[in-house]
């Protein structure tokens, strides 16, 4: 899966203002909903919060990947954001997160969700790539970084 097929200028955000896990999740859902107001916001929020209650999606290296599966969408939707300040997200390494990738996908589809996460995870495993993401000054730079991938790839 190419990230260009899923991400666009309206699905990325620099300077996300949330300062708590709950605020970040709500802001990320808002980014996803910006593209299609037909979604049922409460269903998406419930799915993401239920998934988060099972186990935190805070990873390592300042990354969190909250996600959920719902019946109200027919394809994978994603959002990428960098918060203005690091946020406690119950990450595996105990450090706060500042890079957030959210996916919402249909309950009856697994493939696109896993492909997207695999591609994003491979990019975010690279220290230089994470630095480029954190240095993005605006949404255009953030989108370009994700769509171009790693400099050495």
Task: Tell me the domain boundaries of the chain.
Answer: 3-145
Residue 148, pLDDT score = 83
Tokens of 131: 């630095």
Residue 153, pLDDT score = 45
Q: Which CATH class is domain 3-145?
A: alpha beta
Residue 37, pLDDT score = 59
CA 106 to chain CA centroid, nearest Å: 16
State the pTM of this model: 0.92
**Distance of alpha carbon 143 from alpha carbon 37, whole angstroms:** 22
Bridge partners (DSSP) of residue 70 are 106
Per-position pLDDT tens, the chain of length 153:
467 788 999 999 999 999 999 999 999 999 998 866 566 889 999 999 999 999 999 999 999 999 999 998 888 999 999 999 999 999 999 999 999 999 999 999 878 888 888 889 999 999 999 999 999 999 999 999 988 875 554
DSSP 91-141: -TTS--EEEEEEEEEETT--HHHHHHHHHHHHHHT-HHHHHHHHH--SHHH
Cβ atoms 97, 124 nearer than 8 A? no
Cβ atoms 108, 79 nearer than 8 A? no
Residue 6, pLDDT score = 87
Residue 38, pLDDT score = 60
Residue 46, pLDDT score = 94
Tell me 94's DSSP state.
S
Residue 117, pLDDT score = 87
């Amino acid at each position: 899966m190419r990230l260009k097929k899923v991400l666009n200028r309206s699905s990325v955000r620099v300077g996300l203002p949330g300062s708590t896990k709950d605020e970040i999740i709500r802001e990320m859902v808002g980014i996803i909903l910006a593209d299609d107001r037909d979604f049922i916001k409460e269903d998406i929020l419930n799915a993401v919060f239920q998934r988060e209650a099972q186990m935190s999606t805070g990873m390592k290296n300042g990354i969190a990947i909250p996600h959920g599966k719902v019946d109200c969408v027919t394809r994978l939707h994603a959002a990428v954001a960098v918060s203005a300040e690091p946020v406690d997200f119950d990450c595996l390494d105990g450090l706060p997160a500042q890079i957030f990738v959210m996916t919402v996908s249909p309950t009856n589809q697994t493939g696109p969700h896993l492909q997207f996460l695999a591609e994003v995870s491979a990019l975010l495993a690279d220290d230089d790539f994470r630095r480029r993401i954190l240095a993005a000054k605006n949404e255009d730079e953030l989108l370009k970084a994700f769509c171009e991938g790693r400099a050495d790839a």
